[in-house]
Structure 1
C-alpha cells in the first residue's frame, strides 16, 4: 500500500513538472502588442528604427506609431498583418537587424582599423556601440557612423568614401564580437591616431583610457 502511494506521488510530481515546463516554454517568447511596455519594446523599436520603419523616439511604449511600424514591416515581408510583434515578426526583424548591424559595423571597423591588431578592430566596434548607447549620439549604428557635426562627418571614412569598401573577414568577426559584448576599451567614446591627428579637443576634454596599435582611446 505504501509503495502504491509513493508511486502515485511520483506520478503527480512528474505531471506537475511537465505542466510547469510547458507553461514556461509557451511564455518564453512573449508577444508584444499595443499597450506593451519595457525593455523588450525598446529592442523592438530600435530594430524597426534600424530598418527605417520606426521614426519616432525609442521610449519602450508600444503605441500607435510602433504598431503602425510593425504593420508596415509585416506588409513588406508578406507575413501575417496584425500589428502584433509575435514570433514570426520578431524572428525575421531581429535576424535582419543583426545582419544590418554587422554590415555597417564591419565597414567602419575595416575603414578605420584594417591595419590594426585584432583587438584594435574590436575596440573601434566597441566605441561605435558605446556611442549608440550614449544620449549624446544617434541611437543606431548607421546614425553614429554617418553623423555630421557642423557639416563635417564624424568619421573620416564617410568623408573619403572608404566606408563603402568591402570589409575583411577579421573586420566582420570583430563586428560580431563587439555586438556580442566584447569591450576592450570599456566605455570609451573617442579614438584617433596621434600620427595623423592631434585630437586636440579630445585630449583636452576627455579622459585617456588606453592605446591599442596606432589608436588611442578616450572616455
Structure 2
C-alpha cells in the first residue's frame, strides 16, 4: 500500500485577524505552509503530498515551491469547510489512481512545526492497524467547563483525555466513506469514530500545535529556529 499526505489549505484563517490567509503568512522568510509541506516531504515513506486549495486561490502562485518540486500535487477543489475540502481532495485523488486501501495522512496546513520523526512514528505504529490512527497529546492541564455567564460550571476529569493533532492516518476508501456519511465532523478521526471504529492514539508533543492566533507565529518561529540551531550544532 502506498502512503500519501493530504493537506487542506482552502481556509481563510479568520482568527488571525489579517487579510491574508494564515497559510501564507510569513514565517522565517517563507509562507507558513511551506514549512508544513517541507516536513511532510522529508518523510521518504510518503509518495506524494496533495495540497487542496480554494479554486480562486491567487497566493499559491506568488511563492517559490521549487525546493519541494516533484513531491507536491495541487488540487483546486477546496470547500467551505475543512471536512468538505478533505472530501473533495479524496475524490480527486481517487481519479488520479490512488487505490482504496492506500493510506492517506491528513495534516493541517497551519501545523508548521511538525517534525518528520513524529510522522515516521505515526506510520510505524499505525501501518498494520485495521482502523488507522492519529497523533495526539495526553491532556495535562486541569479542564473547566464554563456556564453561560463564563463562570466555572464544573471541573472535567482529564484522565484518559487526549488533545487530537494531525496527521490523521486512514485508508482512502474508508475515510472517504466516513466523511460522506458524517460531513459535520471537525477532524477525520471523528468521522471514523461515527462508523463505530476506534482509531489508534500515537503520542506526539506540544510542538506540533496549530497556528491559530498572531502570538502563535512567534512561538512557531522560536521552535523552528531552535531546531535549525540544533541541527547546525550536530553537523
Greater helix fraction, Structure 1 or Structure 2 = 1
Greater strand fraction, Structure 1 or Structure 2 = 2
Q: TM-score when scaled to structure 2? A: 0.23
Q: TM-score when scaled to structure 1? A: 0.24
